Amino acid sequence: MLGAKEGETKPIPSQEKSPARAVTQEWTSQDAWAVYQLPFNDLLFRSQSVHREHFDPNRVQLSRLLNIKTGGCPEDCGYCSQSSHHSTAVAPSKLMEVEKIVAEARKAKESGATRYCMGAAWRNPKPRDMDAIVEIVGAVKQLGLETCLTLGMLDRGQADRLSAAGLDYYNHNIDTSESYYPSVISTRTFADRLDTLSHVHEAGMKVCCGGILGMGESEQDRVDMLVTLSNLPKAPESVPINMLIPIAGTPMAKAPPIGPIEFVRIVALARIMMPASFVRLSAGRSAMTDEMQALCFFAGANSIFVGDTLLTAGNPQDEADRKLFRRLGLEAL
């Protein structure tokens, strides 16, 4: 990390007439909304200034995501093609064999990825699954990759076991604001999400947590989602910002799309509110123009998923990403 010693917090540079706030202070919904509503140029100037204090602005971290167990999930998340509640084309599968996962991880490393993320469509891992998951973590780490898992909810014992296995990151998104959350999912509560994040943090792993934009939520909901994340006992080390990919057969298949400027505003706000976190452009990049992605990078995004598939959705081809990086003068972190 550039510009700050480990454990040191630095104040966010403020501008005339813009709300000033130290990194260590709690964000209120009102303060965050005031920053979000700044004139677009002022907002991006501020977010880019914060970004340069903590990161090299021309380097982007590359992650690759593999679905190690597809479909059949008992949760009813309104955006998800893998829910057993929805009529989609996704067929359930069993957990992939360790050897196949390692082979895919090796390909990811060869293509430039430094973090390997693995997802299983579970409400929570069962005790019978944990031995295999621990073995997977160890095998992927032996390749020299950072490891990340998303397996649904965890209890404290499961979090401790994954931490002991050497897992670097655990992903568990809160998806949206607490007030809009019941419109997205009914099979688990917002508090359930926060409980899992607490277990992950207390077990000593890094937290990967963000949300999805474009599910019919308001702009205030998007801002409040970031307020929740920034006010956790420790802000997530990785914050994925997803743009909804409407999938036929899901309740949100016809959700109105979020505008590019509104999306970039949230990326900028995430950078300002969580200055030392990786902010990742996640699902939805296949629907973004090069210009929109460029604005996101300027706003402070510094991580992307590479590879042509994200779980069950499409993603830009590797060559398209290489071409974009060349045009923007970006390098892989």
- Catalytic residue numbers read 73, 77, 80, 117, 148, 208, 280
Q: Where are the beta strands (DSSP E) in 167-264?
A: 169-171, 206-208, 211-213, 238-243
- As a whole number of angstroms, the distance between CA 313 and CA 203 comes to 31
Closest to 213 measured CA to CA, from 143, 150, 151, 301: 301
End-to-end alpha-carbon separation of the chain, Å?
11
Name which of 223, 263, 292 is nearest 19 in CA terms.
223
Residues 10 and 49: their CA atoms lie apart, in Å, by 12
CA 51 vs. chain centroid, Å, equals: 17
Q: How far is CA 19 from the centre of its chain?
A: 26
Q: Are 70 and 312 in contact (CB under 8 A)?
A: yes
- Residue partners of 127: CB distance under 8 A and separation at least 6: none
In this structure, the number of other CB atoms found within 10 A of the CB of residue 82 comes to 25
Q: What angle do CA 200, 205, 211 make, to 5 degrees?
A: 60
Taking the C-alpha atoms of residue 17 and residue 197, their distance in angstroms, rounded to an integer, is 35
**How far is Cα 61 from Cα 302, in angstroms, rounded to an integer?**
6
3-state SS assignment for residue 188: coil
Residue among 241, 250, 292, 243 nearest 271 (CA): 241
Residue for token pair 């973590």: 137
Distance CA 246, CA 252 (A): 6
